[in-house]
Amino acid sequence: MVEKAYKFRFYPTLEQENLLRRTLGCVRLVYNKALAARTQTWYEHKERVSYKQTSAMLTNWKQQEDLDFLTEVSSVPLQQGGSPSTSSFYQLL
């Protein structure tokens, strides 16, 4: 079997670069907030936070005035970033 590798490089426009930076920054924020919520819930109540609960938290965060910038980026990466791998998270504990 022959394996092939491809290298790609893209040069985003300034507008695309700004959107990527905003999106990745928002994903990082949502990930950290979801991780903090899971950790706090686990240590205080010994309960797990499901994907569904995390998704509901994201909806609430988007409605907060200080986090309204979360509505400026696509919700797909936010939902994916807001769900730290449940099984690996609880295996660490």
- Can you read off the two tokens belonging to residue 46? 């010994």
Model confidence band, residue 82 (pLDDT cutoffs 50, 70, 90): confident
Give 32-73 pLDDT, tens digit per residue.
999 999 889 989 998 888 889 999 999 999 999 999 999 999
Q: Are the C-beta atoms of 30 and 81 separated by less than 8 Å?
A: yes
pTM for this entry: 0.80
Residue with tokens 């928002």: 26
- Of 56, 3, 65, 6, which Cα lies nearest the Cα of 30? 56
Per the structure block, which two tokens stand in for 55?
């998704």
The first and second tokens of residue 36, run together, are 């903090």
71, 75, 81, 84 alpha-carbon torsion, rounded to 10°: 110
Distance between CA atoms of 53 and 86, rounded to whole angstroms? 12
